[in-house]
Amino acid sequence: MTLAIMGAMPEEIAPILKKLGTYKTTNYAGNKYYEATYKGMNLVLAYSKIGKVFSTLTAATLCEHFGAEKLLFSGVAGAISPKLKVGDLIVATQLTQHDLDITAFGHPFGYVPEGSVFVDADKEMIALSKIVAQEMGKPLQEGIIATGDQFVANEERKSWIGETFGADALEMEGGSVAVVCDALNVPFFILRAISDAADMDASFSFDEFLETSAVESAEFVMKMVDKLAKK
């Protein structure tokens, strides 16, 4: 089994690389890909760089070039739901693109013909994550994650995304990774730890908590990998 672990920023995959210790590095299409064997599985890791375009390229490369059979994303997000505080974990049940807008043609936000507003994440891995959360004694919330090419630091925009899509958290890659994996039939799992509340203090909170929240998410994803190795 080849498993991909993806992040957007170096901080999001550094804790996992540190745990693996040794790995092979390959440069491909402007990114570094890290390959290792772990508990009888082939792992391939990468950070995409921020945003939908870079994350699309990386997710497609992980699946098509490196042969990923499952993809797990680890990273940070801005909270929409007031129930989510800095450091809390959220697993995406569905992903959407909040900045996709052809409403001028009568379509809903997040929709283009032959696409869909929401893409479902893999139910098996979501179920597994609940077991992992219980074993780790960590609260895990689940919900809709909205993705866009915007760092949201604005109450009004955040509320609009929450109301329009029923989203609980927002970030800049999950929705595009979801579209790629769905199209290629690669089961995917998107986990995020909250770094900020997508409000006027978001950039300060993000800078302060990126590293610690990224570690929270990475540790959880590695426990998921351990579980997947035993299957």
Catalytic residues: 12, 196
145 touches ligand ADE (CB under 6 A): no
Q: Where are the alpha helices (DSSP H) in the chain?
A: 10-20, 52-64, 123-136, 155-165, 174-183, 202-230
Q: For the stretch 193-225, what's the b/e string if a residue is b when 16 or more beta carbons lie within 10 angstroms of its beta carbon?
A: bbbbbbeeebeebbeebbbebbbbbbbbbbbbb
By CB under 6 A, how many residues form the interface with ligand ADE? Answer: 14
165 binds ligand ADE (CB under 6 A): no
Whole-angstrom distance, CA of residue 42 vs CA of residue 201: 40
* Residue nearer to ligand ADE on the CB measure, 76 or 186: 76
- Binding of ligand ADE at residue 188 (CB under 6 A)? no
Q: What angle do CA 19, 144, 186 make, to 5 degrees?
A: 55
CA distance 68 to 31: 16
- Cβ at position 206, least distance to ligand ADE in Å: 5
What six digits make up the tokens of 198?
């997508």
Residue 31-70 contact track with ligand ADE, rule CB under 6 A, x = bound: ----------------------------------------
Region binding ligand ADE by CB under 6 A among candidate stretches 72-80, 84-92, 96-104, 176-184:
72-80
Q: Does 12 bind ligand ADE (CB under 6 A)?
A: no
Nearer to ligand ADE, 76 or 179 (CB): 76
Which span (40-48, 94-102, 169-177, 179-187) binds ligand ADE, by CB under 6 A? 169-177
Question: Which is closer to ligand ADE, CB of 10 or CB of 67?
Answer: 10
> What number of H helices and E strands is found in the chain?
6, 10
Query: Exactly one of 4, 45, 63, 76 binds ligand ADE (CB under 6 A); which one?
Result: 76
Closest CA to 45 of 17, 9, 76, 75: 17
69 CB-side CA count, 13 A: 8
> Where do contacts with ligand ADE occur on this chain (CB under 6 A)?
76-78, 151-153, 170-172, 195-196, 198, 202, 206
